[in-house]
Amino acid sequence: MSLRLGDPAPNFKAQTTEGEIDFYEFLGNGWGVLFSHPADYTPVCTTELGRTALLKEEFAKRNVKVLAVSVDPLDKHFGWRNDINETQNCTVEFPIIADEGREVATLYDMIHPNASATATVRSLFVIGPDKTIKLMITYPASTGRNFHEVLRVIDSLQLTSKHSLATPADWQPGEDAIVVPSISTEDAMKKFPKGVKVVKPYLRYTPTPDENN
């Protein structure tokens, strides 16, 4: 099954390093990141899970829960987790799914046969509180992900889910955002009290609203 942005995120039950979980129950009313890695005891994946563990507080303050998935068995996950903690100077506390039967990998189309017939590619999904897919990124097995970019996109998604805004190229939190075309300039002036800068009728900037607005 091929998933697209806006599709419902498939629910599943799975065994993980933190016990059995129901995906929807695990996410609760918050956001989620589900990402796959090709195999345990591989160098790039080790750095990725370590980086995710080190960013624990960054994910938490955005109300984001993280899960990793691999087609390797649970006992292998436990041993590898020890190596990650040792080599990356971290403590991995998020669940690592043991997907030996490839149920989750199939639900989320994580196996690309032309890349590998058995291993999952580096797929990453951001799931919103409404349990729909907000972002999909797929990297080849040879390239580690940029988790600061993942956080940046989550910041954009959370901002634009609350306001009639979009974010420009290379946007960072706190920088000006773009007023969406569906809002007239007159309405935008009322909606965004910090002001609206009109560059072109279709290109209008406004300072990022305060969190409590």
Alpha carbon 113 to chain centroid, angstroms: 23
CA dist 11 and 108 (Å) reads 10
Query: Which of the residues 45, 96, 111, 141 is marked catalytic?
Result: 45
Q: What is the largest CA-CA distance in the chain?
A: 61
Rounded distance, CA 178 to CA 176, Å? Answer: 7
Nearest to 192 by CA among 203, 202, 204, 200: 204
Asked if 90 is an active-site residue, the reply is: no
The residue among 178, 157, 154 whose CA lies nearest residue 168 is 178
- 134 burial level (CB within 10 Å; 0-12, 13-18, 19+): buried
Q: Which residues are catalytic?
A: 45
